[in-house]
Amino acid sequence: MLLQIRIFASVMNGRDFLSQLLNRGSKITDIFNFNRTKAIKWQETTLKKMLFKARNTEYGRKYGFDDIIISKNPLEEFRKRVPLVTYSQMHDLWLRQYNGESDITWPGQCTHFALSSGTTEGASKYIPVTNDQLKAMIRASRRQLLAMALTDVPKDFLAKDYLMLGGCTDLNYNGISYSGDLSGITTANIPNWFERFSRPGPDITAIKDWEEKVNRIVEEAPKWDIVMLAGAPSWMRLLIERIIKRYNVNNIHEIWPNLSIYCWGAVSLAPYKQSLDSMMGRPITYMESYLASEAYIANQTKPHASGMRLVFRNNTYFEFVPFNEENFDADSNLKPTAKAIGLEDVTTDTDYAIILTTSAGAWRYMIGDTIRFTNPDSCEIKITGRTKQFLSITGEHLSVDNMMEALRRTAEDFKTDFTEFTVKGLKEGNAFAHHWYLANHNSGLDAEAIRRSLDQHLRELNDDYHTERIHVLTGMYLQVLPEQVFLDFLEKHLKLGGQSKFPRVLSDNLYELWVEHVNAYTKQSAS
């Protein structure tokens, strides 16, 4: 269908054509116009379909999917019989699938696995990507493309080039299964007809070395008519910076005059937006998406929406566990007594750990992200952090969302931007402290003034933090470093690439490595 849309859009106003299509009563209108009541009905239908399809798998027989389906209240029975799980509970089952066994958690054999870096511990997880799930992800991507086509874009938006800065499509192969970045898996499996519009193209996306890949993109950049960019903000900013420098232009629109949309996901845009805006020749539209290794969870359907709308009718059933002391212990581990709720019970004043049931064989699976509803009636959300990346060594309960907003306000105070940051909670005798590390290109910044500003904004945003700073959390340290220090650490200890994310809250193991890395940089700079 999208191919037909492209053909029509190439000879007529793409937005007018799509508007007519959406107004004809097509099911596509469901993407944009629905309410919570309708979404709840869709969710029940989706769950029943997945239970029916997986009823004869090992997991389905163990938890009685047949009995759930025929029960008087399938949703209640599902929550009663099927446990909430994390990756550690699913690891052995998914490892068997990785080694070639079939019909374990989803019908058939799964041959593709997304490598998901645990941003707190640094360990890789193997997340199954079944054919059904891959189709669902591509289907959700098409829907977002349609939403973008109805924004302020060129008339022939659907016929121009899209640059996706992602992982390598040359996947690892163990003789049975393929593994790699989810972006590499999805790019390697896009429809053949779409390759004509997708950049940088198969020759470049197959390059494993990140630096070589970026250099090739820079060389090819003037040959493309890019209308949309997609990828992590940190790497997209660096790519655009290199293109501008390579061709000695004032802004990226001198290379790509039709560039209209930048789509990103999984991290906050705030630290990068000022730099991105400065490299544009005119304003562009920013559209957020939420594509995790486990599922395509949500996307922004309008430029000024309050958040991203959950993706329904796409082989994903959502539940939510309030992120509080009733459901999580002091180390942010899910308690055995934790209770999940559905869409009907969510509110705007609570952070939730998101729980997914998907056609990849994830059943009531906690992916580790926390979200908050910005508009429950339209099912719009924002990502607030990670269950393991809330900083609360004394009860300060600082979320990544708190950190990002405080850092944004601090950057405004000093008319600069902080492109990366990380923090560690420390015990100092009978007291406690936070140690912050910020990335900035200006070595002349007053770190002490920045520390005071950041501390004040955190106090304003979080009452618990303010209280703890008075009584127990008596120390706050801050160090400003070049961004390259962060990138070098990623390359050495985590992973350098289009989907790489620097951990916002350092684990004990990573903190030891990080301190060693920073000390080596400081020593080298002083010599």
Could you tell me the residue ranges of all domains in the chain? 2-32+132-299, 400-526
> 3-state SS of the chain: helix, strand, coil percent to 5?
45, 20, 35
Model pLDDT, residue 33: 66
Residue 237's DSSP bridge partners are none
Model pLDDT, residue 185: 84
One-letter identity of residue 405 = E
Q: In which order are the strands placed within the sheet that holds 124-128?
A: 124-128, 112-117, 178-180, 172-173
Residues of the chain with pLDDT under 50: 1-26, 29, 118-122
Q: How far is CA 470 from CA 430, 436, 459, in A?
A: 14, 18, 10
Residue 247's DSSP bridge partners are none
| pTM (2 d.p.) | 0.78
Model pLDDT, residue 160: 84
With contact defined as beta carbons under 8 Å apart, do 465 and 402 qualify?
yes
Q: Which helix (H) or strand (E) holds 47?
A: helix 36-53
Q: Using only the alpha carbons of the chain, give its radius of gyration.
A: 23
Model pLDDT, residue 497: 58
Other CB atoms within a 10 A radius of the CB of residue 44 amount to 15
Model pLDDT, residue 91: 93
With contact defined as beta carbons under 8 Å apart, do 129 and 110 qualify?
yes
Given phi > 0 = left and psi -120 to 50 = alpha, else beta, which region is 352?
beta
Other CB atoms within a 10 A radius of the CB of residue 405 amount to 18
Model pLDDT, residue 231: 87
CA distance 480 to 171: 37
For 65-123, give the DSSP string. Answer: HHHHHHSS-HHHHHHHHSPPB-HHHHHHHHHHHHTT--SSSSSS---EEEEEE-TTT--
For 376, which DSSP code?
Answer: G
Rounded to 10 deg, the angle between the 14-22 and 131-149 helix axes is: 120
**400-526 is classed CATH 3.30.300:** yes
The gap between the terminal CA atoms of the chain, to the nearest Å, is: 62
Q: In which order are the strands placed within the sheet that holds 198-199?
A: 198-199, 161-165, 226-231, 261-265, 285-291, 296-299, 308-310, 380-386, 365-375, 351-358, 316-322
Burial letters for 80-96: b for 16+ Cβ neighbours within 10 Å, e otherwise? eebebbebeebeebbee
Model pLDDT, residue 479: 95
